């Protein structure tokens, strides 16, 4: 099993450009999450999904969109990138959303917006 | 509201020293509590967890006890190793499927 994989690992964008980050998991997990990690702020939830075809907003959803067309994939889109979106982005998945279910994290995508 | 407050770092210890990283939380209801570890260049990995009051989570020599009366979940290890150098995150899962993470505590263990 590859676990949770993220594509790309690094990306540099100019302000106003768009891009999509791909997260894939091969563990048949129902729940998937996108976080951003910023210095001194820990991880903050952007969007999450409780199953194929569903998405929900997290703590910091503005400027991002997501889609979960297939159970194993969770896409994070930036329509018009801004320097404030420079961050490290982590995807995670879990069997359920309860406390008995561990979240498995991908290795992260480092995004710089100039 | 929901939040997690953990001890600010960075923390630098000598090998075999005792480690404590403090974590307190605010949450509605009775959340599950977690410690995650992030090694350089990697994603987060679950270190240990506790799902109800007075539970003790343990793994790789690390321990944390769910203290409902003090809303705390402090991480401890009796004798740290160089390989324990990493960033440690406290987190809780309250209602609504959302995890709340602390800001992370960077630990460096020197030989």
What confidence category does residue A100 fall into, taking pLDDT thresholds of 50, 70 and 90? low
Distance CA B74, CA B51 (A): 14
Give the closest of B46, B97, B104 to A42, CB-based.
B104
pLDDT of B94 over the 90 cut: no
Cβ–Cβ under 8 Å, residues A37 and A87? yes
Average pLDDT over residues A18-45: 92
Tokens standing for residue B104: 């992370």
Distance CA B90, CA B6 (A): 7
Q: Which residue of A has its CA nearest to B104?
A: A42
Q: A101 CB contacts (<8 Å, ≥6 apart)? A: A31, A94, A95
Distance CA B41, CA A107 (A): 7
Cβ–Cβ under 8 Å, residues B73 and B6? no
At CB < 8 A and 24+ separation, what contacts does B93-97 make? Answer: B93/A97, B93/A98, B93/A99, B93/B31, B93/B32, B93/B34, B94/B2, B94/B27, B94/B28, B94/B29, B94/B31, B95/B28, B95/B29, B97/A31, B97/A48, B97/A50, B97/A56, B97/A97
Query: Is A107 within 8 Å of B43 when comparing Cβ atoms?
Result: yes
Buried b vs exposed e over A62-85: b needs ≥16 C-beta within 10 Å?
eebebebeebeebbbebeebeeeb
Q: Is the Cα torsion angle B94, B99, B100, B104 positive or negative in sign?
A: positive
Query: Using one digit for the tens of pLDDT, what is the confidence trace for A44-68?
Result: 999 999 999 999 999 899 999 999 9
Question: Which of A34-48, A71-85, A95-109 shows the lowest per-residue confidence on average (mean pLDDT)?
Answer: A95-109
Query: Is A105 within 8 Å of B103 when comparing Cβ atoms?
Result: no
pLDDT of A80 over the 90 cut: yes
CB pairs under 8 A between A and B: 55
Average pLDDT over residues A8-28: 96
Average pLDDT of chain B to the nearest whole number: 92
What confidence category does residue A99 fall into, taking pLDDT thresholds of 50, 70 and 90? low
Percent share of chain B, pLDDT over 90: 75
Give the closest of B43, B49, B101 to A42, CB-based.
B101
Query: Is B98 within 8 Å of A48 when comparing Cβ atoms?
Result: yes
């Amino acid at each position: 099993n590859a676990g949770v994989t993220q594509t790309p690992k690094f990306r540099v964008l100019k302000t106003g450009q768009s891009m999509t980050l791909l997260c894939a998991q091969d563990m048949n997990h129902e729940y998937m999450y996108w976080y951003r990690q910023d210095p001194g702020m820990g991880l903050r939830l952007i969007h999450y999904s409780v199953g194929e075809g569903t998405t929900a907003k997290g703590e910091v959803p503005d400027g991002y969109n997501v889609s979960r067309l297939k159970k194993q994939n969770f896409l994070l889109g930036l329509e018009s990138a801004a320097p404030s979106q420079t961050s490290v982005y982590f995807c995670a998945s879990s069997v359920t959303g309860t406390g008995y279910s561990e979240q498995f994290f991908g290795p992260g995508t480092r995004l710089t917006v100039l | 509201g929901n939040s997690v407050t953990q001890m600010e770092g960075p923390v630098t210890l000598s090998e075999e020293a005792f480690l404590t990283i403090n974590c307190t939380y605010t949450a509605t209801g009775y959340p599950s509590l977690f410690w995650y570890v992030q090694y350089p260049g990697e994603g987060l990995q679950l270190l240990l967890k506790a799902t109800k009051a007075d539970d003790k989570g343990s793994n790789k020599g690390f321990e944390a006890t769910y203290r409902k009366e003090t809303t705390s979940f402090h991480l401890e290890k009796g004798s740290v190793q160089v390989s324990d150098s990493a960033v440690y995150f406290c987190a809780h899962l309250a209602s609504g499927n959302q995890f709340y993470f602390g800001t992370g505590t960077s630990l460096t263990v020197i030989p």
